[in-house]
Chain A
C-alpha cells in the first residue's frame, strides 16, 4: 500500500460505504452536543419517530448560554434558559449523558471532551460547532457540522462526506520565550489567510509542534477553522498518550494496551504526499496581536497598525480601511500604544489549566491597570476551575484585580450576559474578532493568555517578553 497521511488513515478506517461519485458514508465515533444547535435535530428525530443509533457515542453539555456568575439564581434571559432546559429535556428523554449546569464536569464542549477522555486518538469526532477542529489535536478526525447533520449523526451514527485535500503546516525549531501555541496559530493564519485552508484538512507537524503540550496542540487545532480548514490535526506521540491515560472515558487495563499499540500508528508515513505544504520557522514567530476584524488581520507586538495607503490592491485597501474604522484605530500606531477597556481570558481556544497558569504567572503580585474596566478569567470547565483553585491561581487573579468566573463560552460570543459595550476594546484569548462578536460595536484583539494578562496589567498591549525578561 502506498504511503498515507494521518488524514488518509483516519478517513479510511471510518468508511462504511462509498458511492460511485466518491460520496462516502463515514462512521462517527463521538458526537458532542450543546444547547444551541441541537434542539431542531432532536425534534426532527421525534417527528420521524426515530431513536439515536448508538446512545453511548453521544455526550452533551450546555455551554454557550450559561451565566458565569450567580448560577444559583439560574438563567435570567428566558430564551437562553429555554435553550438550556430544552437540552436537559432532550437528553433526559432520549437517554443521552449530559453534564448539566450544576455538574463540576460542565464546561465548554471542546474542553470537556478531551478532559473526560471522551475524545480519543483515532476517533472521528463531530459536534454542531465549527471549533470541533480542536479535537484533532489527539490524532482524531474532528470537524463541525450543521443542525441537519446533527440529526443525521444522531439517527445513523454516520455522515455523508467527501474527502478533503491535505495540507501539512510544518513548524520547525524552538519557540522563543513568551511565544505560545496561540501565536503560532495566528502567525499561520496571518501567512495563509482565513481562506488558505479552505477545502483542506490541515496536519500540523514539525519539531515545534511535537514540543507543544496537548493544551497547546488543542489551541492550534481549534484555530484551524479560522484558517478555513474544517479539520486540523496533530499526529499521536507520547504526549498524546500520557494526556489521555487515566481519564474517565479512556480505556483501561488490557484494552488500554491494545489501544496504545493502535494509536502509535496514527502518524503520517514518512514519504506520504500532501496536496500542499507550508513551512514556518518557529524561532521567527513573535507574540501576535490582531488589529482588524478577521483573524488574518494580525501583526506582531513589535509592529504597527498597517497603513491602507501602502496597499496597492484596492479591494484589500478597502478592507483595511473598513476594519480600522470599525476598530477605531489610526494607521501606523504602534501596537503597544493601543489602550484597552476589557480583558477576557477564556474560550475553547485558551481556557485550559496551562493557559490559566501562564496568565497567572504574569499577573502574580501585579495589579490590573486603572483604565481597564473589567478583566475576567473564565475557566473552560468546572474541573479546570477546581484544579486552578487547588493551585491557588484564583487568588493570584483576584488579588491582581481580575474577576474569577464560572465556566462557559462567556464573552467569546456574548450569548450570555458577558459582553462588550459599543466601542469598548478588549484583549481576548478567544478565536474570532469579527464585528460584533463580543457584543454589538465591541472591538476585539486576539492574543495569547500571557499577552492578555500583560495587557491587563499595563492597560495597553505590551510585549510580554519584556515583562518576563525583567
Chain B
C-alpha cells in the first residue's frame, strides 16, 4: 500500500446521495480474477451508454456525455466529492479497488457506509467525513471554478481550498498511522518480521520436520 501524506489534487463532484457499491462497480465485474484493472469500469452504468461486460475494451465504448467524470475538465481528478451515505450496499472490496485504479486517492462526503469506509483504509484511500454545509460549499466552488484543486494534509488533518480556507477533519489515530506509513494488515504484520523469523528459528530446532 502506498503512503498517504499530503495530496494537492483536482476535484471531481459527484452530486448524488446514496451511491452504492453496485453503482461504483457493477456485479458482472466481480467475476474477474484481478483486483486491479477495474478503473475503466468505475461507475460503468452511468459512464457509458452501452452495457459493459468484463474483458471488454472500454476505449471505444460510447461515453455518456452527461456523466460528470466524462467532462474534460475533470480528467485526472484525485479527489472525489460526494454526498451522504457514499458506498452503501454490498461489501465488495472491488469498490475501493475501482476508485483507486481510476486514480482517486481521497473521497470527501458528509457520511459513508461503514464497510466501504473500512475497505478504503485497507486499500490506501482516505475517506473524509465533512459536515454537509462545508461539502455543499466545496461542490459550489468546484463547479464554479475550472481546474479547482484541494490540498489534503493527513498529518495536519486539514483540507485547504484554493482561497486558503482550511477545514479540519477527524480520523482514527490508528488508521492515520497506517495510512501515513503505508501500512496495510500485511504491512503491520511485517513490522513483526523479526519475531516471525525468531519463531521459525526456534521451530527449526524444536520441530525440524516441519522445515524439510
Which A residues have a C-beta under 8 Å from some C-beta of B? Answer: 16-17, 25, 27, 29, 39-40, 43-44, 47-48, 50, 53-54, 56, 79, 82-83, 86, 120, 122-123, 148, 151-152, 155-158, 160, 251, 255-256, 258-259, 262
Contact partners of A54 in chain B: CB under 8 A: 200
Q: How many A-B residue pairs have CB under 8 A?
A: 75
* Central interface residue in B31, B35, B122, by most chain A CB within 10 Å: B35
Contacts A25-B189, A27-B196, A160-B189; is A43 near B36 (CB within 8 Å)?
A: yes
Which B residues have a C-beta under 8 Å from some C-beta of A? Answer: 1, 31, 33-36, 93, 122, 184-186, 189-190, 192-193, 195-196, 199-200, 203, 207-212
Q: Contact between B209 and A120 (Cβ–Cβ < 8 Å)?
A: yes
Contacts A16-B195, A29-B210, A251-B212; is A39 near B33 (CB within 8 Å)?
A: yes
Q: Contact between A158 and B196 (Cβ–Cβ < 8 Å)?
A: yes
- Nearest chain A residue, comparing its CB with the CB of B192: A17
CA distance A262 to B34 in the complex (A): 42
Q: Contact between A255 and B186 (Cβ–Cβ < 8 Å)?
A: no
Contact partners of B184 in chain A: CB under 8 A: 48
Q: Contact between B35 and A50 (Cβ–Cβ < 8 Å)?
A: no
CA distance A83 to B54 in the complex (A): 14
CA distance A47 to B186 in the complex (A): 13
Q: Contact between A50 and B192 (Cβ–Cβ < 8 Å)?
A: no
Q: Contact between B190 and A155 (Cβ–Cβ < 8 Å)?
A: yes
Contact partners of A123 in chain B: CB under 8 A: 210
User: Would you give the shortest CB distance from A347 to chain B, in whole angstroms?
Assistant: 24
Contacts A251-B212, A262-B207; is A152 near B196 (CB within 8 Å)?
A: no
User: Would you give the shortest CB distance from A146 to chain B, in whole angstroms?
Assistant: 10
Contact partners of A53 in chain B: CB under 8 A: 196
CA distance A435 to B203 in the complex (A): 45
CA distance A140 to B48 in the complex (A): 52
User: Would you give the shortest CB distance from A36 to chain B, in whole angstroms?
Assistant: 9
Q: Contact between A157 and B35 (Cβ–Cβ < 8 Å)?
A: no
CA distance A56 to B210 in the complex (A): 10
Contact partners of B34 in chain A: CB under 8 A: 39-40, 43
User: Would you give the shortest CB distance from A323 to chain B, in whole angstroms?
Assistant: 26
Q: Contact between B35 and A47 (Cβ–Cβ < 8 Å)?
A: yes
Contact partners of A258 in chain B: CB under 8 A: 208-209
The 9 A-B residue pairs with the shortest CB-CB distance, nearest first, are A39-B33, A251-B209, A259-B209, A40-B35, A255-B209, A156-B189, A16-B199, A155-B186, A86-B33
